[in-house]
Amino acid sequence: MRFPGHDPHHREDIVIGPLDLPSRVDEALAVQAVAFGLGADEIAVRRQIVLRHMTYPGARALGATTPDGRLVGFVYGMPNDRTHWWSTIVEPYLRAQGLDDWLDNSFVITELHVHPRYQNRGIGRALITAITDTADEPRSILSAIDTDSPARGLYHSLGYVDLARQVLFPSAPKPYAVMGAPLPLRRRG
Ligand SMILES: CC(C)(COP(=O)(O)OP(=O)(O)OC[C@H]1O[C@@H](n2cnc3c(N)ncnc32)[C@H](O)[C@@H]1OP(=O)(O)O)[C@@H](O)C(=O)NCCC(=O)NCCS
């Protein structure tokens, strides 16, 4: 999949494809640090978490790379497992809405980030659509900071709906929304 750059003076083809995340974790976290805002201490913590996540059954990643091989975006996820930390945090919020069956037979999007210089070109949409297209599960879930962000706008346009709001993760300063969508994700138009 190729995405011509929008800048006519600097056209560049971005390729979406499988990403060996454990071996490129530092590049991925550098993208996440500038896209999402992570400090050095948080990067070190995330590094261990990402490496552990990639050992989970069915965990996989896709990257968006420039012709010269620079990583400018990535997504990763896995089949949800109710024993995973994320799932144990969101479960009571979903159960309170009678929606915790979304935790079964669901592909969870754990991270999605695009470098700010490459945002708004369809790369985020392509990454999340492509990875969920590889899922055997009939639906997908994720969490996003509970605000009107580009991320939430993108997820809504792909068919994700709010399953729970104001979800608090230990140590995260801002509340999150948990969102779910049927697969395959909705296409544009
Ligand atoms: C979320 C993110 C990955 C999207 O990547 P992207 O490549 O810019 O996304 P796309 O170009 O594919 O899609 C942009 C979509 O975002 C939405 N969007 C963009 N700006 C928006 C805004 N200001 N308000 C609401 N929605 C907006 C639109 O739905 C847009 O779709 P469109 O193609 O119909 O215009 C990127 O913004 C990002 O990395 N953000 C910071 C990190 C982050 O928040 N990650 C998600 C954590 S849950």
Q: Is the pLDDT of residue 68 over 80?
A: yes
Q: Whose CA is nearest to atom 9 of ligand 1?
A: 124
Q: Minimal CA–CA distance to 124: which of 36, 59, 64, 184?
A: 64
CATH number of the domain that 104 lies in? Answer: 3.40.630.30
Percent with pLDDT over 70 in the chain: 94
Mind listing the pLDDT tens digit for each residue in 38-62?
Answer: 999 999 999 999 999 999 999 999 9
Indicate the number of domains in the chain. Answer: 1
pLDDT recorded at residue 5: 52
Q: Please give the DSSP secondary-structure letter assigned to residue 185.
A: P
With 60 as the cut, is the pLDDT of residue 9 above it? no
174 within domain boundaries:
yes
Which pair of structure tokens corresponds to residue 142?
């994720």
Structure tokens at 18: 């499988």
Angle of helix 123-133 relative to helix 150-157, nearest 10 degrees?
50
* Mean pLDDT computed over every residue of the chain: 94
Per-residue confidence at 171, pLDDT binned at 50, 70, 90?
confident
Closest ligand 1 atom to residue 119 Cα is 8
Does residue 163 contact residue 141 with C-beta atoms inside 8 Å? yes
Q: Is 65 within a domain?
A: yes
Of 150, 153, 60, 55, nearest to 110 by C-alpha is: 60
Domain that holds residue 61: 2-182
Q: Are 64 and 74 in contact (CB under 8 A)?
A: yes
pTM of the model: 0.94
Q: Write the pLDDT tens digit of every residue in 100-120.
A: 999 999 999 999 999 999 999
Which of the listed residues 76, 117, 119, 187 should we mutate to test ligand 1's pocket, taking the one with most ligand atoms within 8 A of CB?
Answer: 119
Q: 188 in a domain, yes or no?
A: no
Taken in order 58, 24, 66, 34, the sign of the CA dihedral is positive
Atom of ligand 1 nearest to the CA of 123: 7
Residue 189 lies inside a defined structural domain of this protein: no
